[in-house]
Structure 1
Amino acid sequence: MNIVIRQEQEKDISTIYSVVKLAFEKVEHSDGDEQNLVNRLRNSEAFIPELSLVAELDGEIVGHILFTKIKICENISLALGPLSVVPELHGKGIGGKLIIKGHEIAKNLGFGSVIVLGHPAYYPRFGYVPASNWGIKAPFEVPDECFMAMELIEGSLKSVSGIVQYAKEFFER
């Protein structure tokens, strides 16, 4: 399977909307708004064009990942999410390719860490551990094992702790 990971382009926006909607349609812990969240974040100050990536299979977009700026106290970090892969291609490594490429680009852009609210059996394989290990907390109630962080640059979270400040678009509908 030849998957190409690339930065989203304007012509991809409606396809990304459909892919994200489809990916979260039957997810237990979804609010059904992820596709709209992507659009809101794309128009926010937290958006980083280089970190909105698509996965293509035979020229067709089958996945998307978004990393946006967040703050932990006064420290800038990134939020990973949403990560979307069309359901019929789950388990094929597409999400992992998106995560790894996103991490690579983020590190090259000078970002030192990433926070994710996600499945505790999935994200640890990419280096994520509970954010509480650094004293980092979510601004909402969430199980500790689901709120994770990772250092893209070793030691980047060493003296960072506090409550994550997400872009306001995360809380709008």
Structure 2
Amino acid sequence: MADPNPWFRIYPPEVRDHTEVNQTVGPKRMPLRNSRPIAYSMLIFTIALMKNFVLETNRYARNFIRRNRHNISNKSRVHDWRKKVKLALIEFKPFVDVILNMGLIRKATISEYWNRKHSSQSTPWFRKVFTRNRFQLMLKFLHLVDNRHIAPRNSPSYDPTAKFKPIVDHFNLKAKTHYFPSQNVDVF
């Protein structure tokens, strides 16, 4: 005879082995309820993470320009990286804000965010924060890992996730730091 209820709950190993959990579940170390949104974003985008982005972006830009100095046209905006001050933390924070806003305000191309032609769909805030060329240059050089520490594609130790693994690890660590999972987590 078939079991009338073939469905049963499966718990992850850390819950399955313990019938009682003696800890509070839910968020921990959170900003006050009336905090500004920046307080919540700073839980994930820490100063240390942003400093690492700035360091590695500047390193990659410097190495790119040095390696390609004979192949870069005189009209290339890459020369602007050397003319202007290198990327600083104070410039990286609004860069993240612009990228997050691009997820909310959808346009077909990056250039359209700086377009002045269609006033009903204009996004003047983007132009106030960066020139289009500066933003695209920062996006071009954006890096989190020093390429010298990444194994090449043909190497047995090659890891296709090496360039973004640090950010995934960082976000996972922050999730563990700021949230107590519930004992009653359903696994689908």
**Relative contact order (C-alpha < 8 Å, sep 6+): which is higher?**
2
Higher fraction of helix:
2
